[in-house]
Amino acid sequence: MSQRTLVLLKPDAVRRGLIGEIIGRIERKAGWTIGALELRTLDLGTLEQHYAEHVGRPFYEPLMEFMASGPSVALVVEGERVVEGVRALAGPTDPIAAAPGSIRGDFGTIVRENLIHASDSPESAEREIKLFFPGLV
């Protein structure tokens, strides 16, 4: 089943020079393609909408500050089961619990600075794609 998902390479991934490494892993999956891609420092308005589900949680404010701390790379990935697939490549939220071989497992240590965001459902993906790439059909 072909799908789309919204992926963010977070500011830690960009600062650490891991854009190529992470996009390379996504790109090498058979049949997956990149439908849109942009380097951008995310503004608080966009981030408030993106992380609306986390308002009020203790990690919300530091998360917003971190996500606005430098450029991120936003991309749309298209292909067979990409929603589940990119989250599998990323690994679980806590990088220490993430298996080696996953992006977070290979490169992360801090829960907040876990390198990558990927939509958690096809419905979230469509909402997030509209938010980050309003011109994309």
For binding to ligand RTP (CB under 6 A), which residues are involved?
59, 63, 93, 111-112, 114, 117-118, 120
Does 40 count as an annotated binding residue?
A: no
Does 10 count as an annotated binding residue?
A: yes
The whole-angstrom separation of Cα 24 and Cα 106 is 14
The whole-angstrom separation of Cα 125 and Cα 137 is 13
- Which is closer to ligand RTP, CB of 58 or CB of 137? 58
Q: How far is the CB of 23 from ligand RTP (least distance, A)?
A: 16
Beta bridge pairs of residue 39: 73
Cβ neighbors of 43 (< 8 A, separation 6 or more) are 68
- Which is closer to ligand RTP, CB of 5 or CB of 79? 5
Nearest to 40 by CA among 5, 62, 67: 67
Q: How far is the CB of 100 from ligand RTP (least distance, A)?
A: 18
Does 109 count as an annotated binding residue?
A: no
- Residues serving a catalytic function are 117
User: CA 108: distance to chain centroid?
Assistant: 14
- Which is closer to ligand RTP, CB of 30 or CB of 92? 92
Binding site for ATP: what residues are annotated?
Answer: 10, 59, 87, 93, 104, 114
